[in-house]
Amino acid sequence: MPQQIWRLSIVFGLLVLALALARLFLVPETFGRIGHYRAAAIDSIAARKIKYAGRRACALCHGEVVTNHAAHRHAGVSCEVCHGPAAAHVDAPAEVRLTAPKQRGYCPLCHGYDPSRPTGFPQIDPVAHNPLKPCVSCHNPHAPEPPRTPEHCGACHGQISRAKAVSPHATLECTQCHRTDKQHMISPAQRRPSIPASRAFCGQCHAPEAASPKDIPRVDMSTHGERYVCWQCHYPHFPELK
């Protein structure tokens, strides 16, 4: 073997040895055991501590509350949504106490009105809805009730009812002109109230021959704006006097 070949092979041999040594020291022990990564990393990530205990943990001690909660509309809302991460409390129930948000700002995080929220999700306007009153003074967060149906039309149609109250039509009930299904108060968009469809309806009071008090203004129904239903020109919730 020529001299230069074996000298070069010594150099190569040393290089290979250096590479092997470098790999031995630089490549972590568990690298490549499962894939092209350190298998021990999975264990160290898996060993991280949990902060949220999970809904099953709460039931172990607070069974009664959990059972009651599960039977009502907040059943899908985990305890830790409102009471915060509970793992520390589970480990040391006496030392670490959880709190409940009693201030007004918390509930509107879910129940404040936002048009981006799904239709039908219960929402209120936090500014107008019983200002300054803590939500929990009326609503039980463990057993919330669906909102009661309003008792009078003004609850929703405030602008109309306020205008009507100071108009010549103040004494008329809404139902005098609008036939209103009871369901309208529960699902307002599905069951709409009726509106007067004929001129004769207003004529019951305003036609010359109508049997109504004499001071009610009369018009000749045959000549007065015959192409239109009355409310297309007059606003019945606040009719002009003359």
Instruction: Name the site residues for other proteins (rule: CB under 8 A).
Output: 28, 31, 34-38, 41-42, 44-52, 54-55, 74, 76-78, 80-81, 85, 108-110, 112, 114-118, 121
b/e for 110-130, b at 16 or more Cβ within 10 A? Answer: ebeeeeeeeeeeebeebeebe
Cβ proximity to other proteins, 4 vs 116, nearer residue:
116
Residue 112, helix vs strand vs coil: strand
Report residue 124: phi and psi, to 5°.
-130, 165
User: How far is it, in rounded angstroms, from Cα 168 to Cα 217?
Assistant: 11
What six digits make up the tokens of 4?
């230069």
The least distance separating other proteins from the CB of residue 106, rounded to whole angstroms, comes to 10
Other C-beta atoms closer than 10 Å to the C-beta of 69 total 21
The least distance separating other proteins from the CB of residue 53, rounded to whole angstroms, comes to 8
User: How far is it, in rounded angstroms, from Cα 135 to Cα 104?
Assistant: 6
Cβ proximity to other proteins, 112 vs 196, nearer residue:
112
The least distance separating other proteins from the CB of residue 76, rounded to whole angstroms, comes to 5
**Amino acid, single-letter form, for residue 146:** P
Cβ proximity to other proteins, 110 vs 163, nearer residue:
110
The least distance separating other proteins from the CB of residue 196, rounded to whole angstroms, comes to 33
The least distance separating other proteins from the CB of residue 95, rounded to whole angstroms, comes to 19
The least distance separating other proteins from the CB of residue 41, rounded to whole angstroms, comes to 4
Beta bridge pairs of residue 112 = 124
Cβ proximity to other proteins, 111 vs 184, nearer residue:
111
Cβ proximity to other proteins, 41 vs 170, nearer residue:
41
Cβ proximity to other proteins, 44 vs 223, nearer residue:
44
Contact 81, 117 (CB under 8 A): no
